[in-house]
Amino acid sequence: MNRFFLMAASVLMMLLIYSCQPVEKSADSSFDLQLTEQEKEGGIMSPEILWKFRRMGNIIASPDGKTVLFTLTDYNLENENIRTNIFSIPSAGGEKVQLTDTGGSSPSWIMNGKKIAYRSGGHLWTMNPDGSSRKKIANMDDFEIYSVSPEGDMIYFTRRVKLDETPNEKHDMPLANMRIIDDLMFRHWDNWHDYSYSHIFIASFDGNTVSGEKDIMEGQRFESPTSPWFDASEICWGPEGKKIAYTSKHLIGKDAAVSTNTDIFVYSIDEGSTVNISKSNKGFDHYPVFSPDGSKIAWQSQEEEGYESDLERLFIYDFDESSLTNPSEGWDYNIENICWAEDMIYFSSPYLGTAQVFSIDPASGEITQISDGKYNFSPSAVTNGDIIAGIQSMSMPTEVATIDAGTGEMDIITSVNKHISDNIKMGETEEEYIKTKDGKDLQMWIIYPPDFDPSKEYPALLYCKGGPQGMLGQSWSYRWNYQMMAANGYIVVAPNRRGNSGFGSGWREQISGDYGGKNMQDYLDAIDYMAKKPFIDKERLGAVGASYGGYSVFYLAGIHEGRFKALISHCGMFNIESWYGSTEELWFPNKDIGGPYWEDPEPAGYEYSPHLNVDKWTAPILIIVGEHDYRIPYTQSLEAFTAAQMNDVPSKLLFFHDETHFVTSPQNAVIWQREFFEWLDTYLKND
């Protein structure tokens, strides 16, 4: 899975949904999520309706497997207030129960399921499983993520620890506003380095108060969880409550900028010592999970240093034998969302345009597919023979599903957006395989408008995925929403071009060093195939995309030879040379472009810089960017807009001052959608 150069890729979004800590606000009667009569009458998706969807996160099964906790986050479009509360539902199905009404996130079962801990208002609280007897824990105000030990007598939590001197402190100038920079990684994705580091603390916990805290990373200028996502899944307890496993990257500055090498560390509470158990591996090692008896630990591991999209393998460390094994050797799909149940491990994999659940026998390495269907599954627990998982599709945001581990029979037990799904129509989603120009099988998803009529002609949009690696599966996005595009009368063509995961390592890895090559031809093959359909007007084709998808649109703008009549690029690379000098995760261009532009000879990847073909741009282009995007700095979009304007190409720039690589504020996002379709309608619908 490509965690770091990805625009709303589905697997990453699932991880963010399950690990994030939403803002909690008190109950607000102005949160009216019901559709208006006008919206019901229209019966199709709109930007305003999209913000009435309830967003699910933190899916956690009780120790006995009978109850599932989850959070729902709601947005008020008018004032941008946010509320998050905790709910429960029987794993066998039934009515959901709201457990908090004044805010609550990051719930967890403690005391063997007798209590629930959760975060609210910046504090740690506990309550009974029915939501009663809420109690604020003393001395737990300054923390980010937390987890109570299985025995219930200890807690770990993370907190930022300031270790670096600011220029103001160095020069005793408190009103100064500047930085002194002498190394790389001074900013990352959407934040400047703040002179502090995320550290793990442990403390005693008696259900009422926390005491005797200790920084187990004291003095280290390293972090856990790791930047930029600070994912709670990078830390876990051993089942006996005596060990903590965590992910950390023991590199700083330039070394951190060019290497992906993170490791799994195990801290012994009794001994007060830490051991690196993945030191021999130089790629990503992350997301540790202990075996039920605590004798082993599994995690996701990538082999190649500097390749963030390398194959995610399953590694297992045996504490008794001090041995490391890879039972997934030979499996050519990513191992993700590891759940360990007795003598079997369950996981999900991007697989042929979906994300399915599989099991693996750690002893034999035998892998069996459990789930099926046009869904993305993200397992979170296995209890009593049932897999508890999040489930998503192009037509459905996250819900909770149970999957019989033996038969694969699946049941969706929640319906948190029934108030919307009962009143709007979704377009049909179809899978199709075609042959590429070089004879390869190309899978693509086609999303049709609601009430699609094959006797009519429709405009079509080529959807260019981010990544460039990563998965194009059955994802639901709150911005790049396929159903939104279809509801506006467009047929969406979403090909799993070369570089996308779920089709084997060869398909995924081909794109590195070949940005303007075979994957671009895959895009053209897909849209050319669809343009021959009698229900598509080949004179009304558009291409849209973000991140690497935004780059793809910039590149296609110079080679499409009149195919497209409208283009939209969000946060795309335009000039690869200037991008190399302004981005932060330099391992990425070193791998995918071939290295810095000053090498002699210049790496071949630079020949695919979109700015080299600006003289061939003719199609109208809308360019979108956030000021606080440091992965692909906003100057890339400014360069592209200037080039379009100076070459008299119809163009418009949307510049969001308070957004990053993603547009997340409700009103900004609605403007994004309105301008998006105004642009497309102007050039693809008006005669």
> What are the tokens at 488?
């506006």
224 is catalytic: no
> What are the tokens at 109?
């079962």
| Coil vs helix vs strand at 547 | coil
Q: What is the pLDDT of residue 21?
A: 45
Residue of 156, 246, 143, 140 whose CA lies nearest to 201: 156
- Dump strand ranges (E) for 469-534: 491-495
C-alpha separations of 437 from 154, 511, 526, 553 in Å: 60, 16, 10, 20
Q: How confident is the model at residue 30 (pLDDT cuts 50, 70, 90)?
A: confident
- Report the side by side order of strands in the sheet with 243-248: 235-237, 243-248, 263-268, 273-276
Q: Does residue 8 carry a pLDDT above 70?
A: no
Q: How confident is the model at residue 687 (pLDDT cuts 50, 70, 90)?
A: low
C-alpha count within 13 angstroms, C-beta hemisphere, residue 338: 30
629 is catalytic: yes
Strands 651-656 and 566-570: unpaired
| Coil vs helix vs strand at 594 | coil
The label of the residue with tokens 């049709």 reads 448
Q: What is the pLDDT of residue 566?
A: 98
Dmax of the chain from CA atoms?
A: 75
Q: What is the pLDDT of residue 12?
A: 36
Question: What is the rounded CA–CA span in Å between residue 82 and residue 80?
Answer: 6
Q: What is the pLDDT of residues 502-528, one digit of tens each?
A: 999 999 999 999 999 999 999 999 999
Query: What is the percent of the chain where pLDDT is above 90?
Result: 95
State the catalytic residue, choosing from 547, 552, 569, 637: 547
Question: What is the rounded CA–CA span in Å between residue 599 and residue 597?
Answer: 6
State the catalytic residue, choosing from 199, 286, 570, 661: 661
Question: What is the rounded CA–CA span in Å between residue 362 and residue 367?
Answer: 9
Question: What is the rounded CA–CA span in Å between residue 28 and residue 182?
Answer: 47
Question: What is the rounded CA–CA span in Å between residue 202 and residue 21?
Answer: 20
What global pTM score does this model have?
0.95
Query: Taking a C-beta distance cutoff of 8 angstroms, is the pair 479, 662 a contact?
Result: yes
Q: What is the pLDDT of residue 621?
A: 99
Q: What is the pLDDT of residues 562-606, one digit of tens each?
A: 999 999 999 999 999 999 999 999 999 999 999 999 999 999 999
Question: What is the rounded CA–CA span in Å between residue 256 and residue 262?
Answer: 10
Output the DSSP codes for 18-63.
HH---------TT---SPPHHHHHH-S--HHHHTTSPEEEEEEE-T
Cβ neighbours of residue 499 closer than 8 Å, sequence gap 6 or more: 467, 468, 469, 507, 508, 510, 511, 519, 548
217-224 long-range contacts, Cβ below 8 Å, gap at least 24? 217/248, 219/163, 221/163, 221/164, 221/197, 221/252, 222/197, 222/248, 222/249, 222/250, 222/251, 222/252, 223/197, 223/198, 223/199, 223/248, 223/249, 224/158, 224/198, 224/199, 224/200, 224/248, 224/265
Q: How confident is the model at residue 686 (pLDDT cuts 50, 70, 90)?
A: confident
> What are the tokens at 397?
């945001």
Please compute the mean of the pLDDT values over residues 207-222 and round it to a whole number: 97
Rama region for 343: left / alpha / beta (φ>0; ψ in -120 to 50; rest) = alpha
Q: Is the peptide bond preceding residue 150 cis, with omega within 30 degrees of 0? A: no
Q: Does residue 422 carry a pLDDT above 60?
A: yes
Q: What is the pLDDT of residues 41-64, one digit of tens each?
A: 999 999 999 999 999 999 999 999
More confident residue, 494 or 2: 494
Q: What is the pLDDT of residue 29?
A: 56
Query: Taking a C-beta distance cutoff of 8 angstroms, is the pair 541, 532 a contact?
Result: no
Q: Does residue 476 carry a pLDDT above 80?
A: yes
Q: Does residue 667 carry a pLDDT above 50?
A: yes
Query: What is the percent of the chain where pLDDT is above 70?
Result: 96
CA end-to-end distance (rounded Å), the chain: 43
| Coil vs helix vs strand at 301 | strand
Q: What is the pLDDT of residue 59?
A: 98
547 is catalytic: yes
Residue of 121, 127, 163 whose CA lies nearest to 142: 121
Q: Is the dihedral of CA 262, 502, 326, 232 positive or negative?
A: positive
Q: Among the residues of 471-511, which ranges form H helices?
A: 482-487, 505-509
C-alpha separations of 487 from 363, 426, 481 in Å: 49, 8, 10
> What are the tokens at 545?
């995309």
DSSP single-letter state for residue 284: -
402 strand-pairing partners: 388, 411
State the catalytic residue, choosing from 10, 609, 629, 637: 629
Q: What is the pLDDT of residues 263-287, one digit of tens each?
A: 999 999 999 999 999 999 999 999 9
Query: Taking a C-beta distance cutoff of 8 angstroms, is the pair 43, 450 a contact?
Result: yes
Query: Taking a C-beta distance cutoff of 8 angstroms, is the pair 329, 311 a contact?
Result: no
C-alpha separations of 658 from 21, 248, 583, 637, 663 in Å: 20, 29, 19, 16, 9
Please compute the mean of the pLDDT values over residues 102-113 and round it to a whole number: 96
Q: What is the pLDDT of residues 528-559, one digit of tens each?
A: 999 999 999 999 999 999 999 999 999 999 99
Q: Does residue 117 carry a pLDDT above 80?
A: yes
Q: Mean of the per-residue pLDDT values for the chain?
A: 95
Least confident among 27-36, 242-251, 252-261? 27-36
Please compute the mean of the pLDDT values over residues 406-431 and round it to a whole number: 97
Q: Does residue 160 carry a pLDDT above 90?
A: yes
Q: Does residue 218 carry a pLDDT above 50?
A: yes
Q: Does residue 379 carry a pLDDT above 50?
A: yes
The label of the residue with tokens 């003719």 reads 618
Q: What is the pLDDT of residue 572?
A: 98
What are φ and ψ of residue 213, in 5° steps? -65, 150
CA 123 vs. chain centroid, Å, equals 26
Question: What is the rounded CA–CA span in Å between residue 554 and residue 213?
Answer: 52
For residues 150, 154, 156, 157, the Cα torsion angle rounded to the nearest 10 degrees is 120
Q: What is the pLDDT of residues 433-459, one digit of tens each?
A: 999 999 999 999 999 999 999 999 999
Please compute the mean of the pLDDT values over residues 354-383 and round it to a whole number: 98
- Domains annotated for the chain, with CATH where assigned, are 426-684 (3.40.50.1820)
Q: Does residue 166 carry a pLDDT above 60?
A: yes
Q: Does residue 10 carry a pLDDT above 90?
A: no
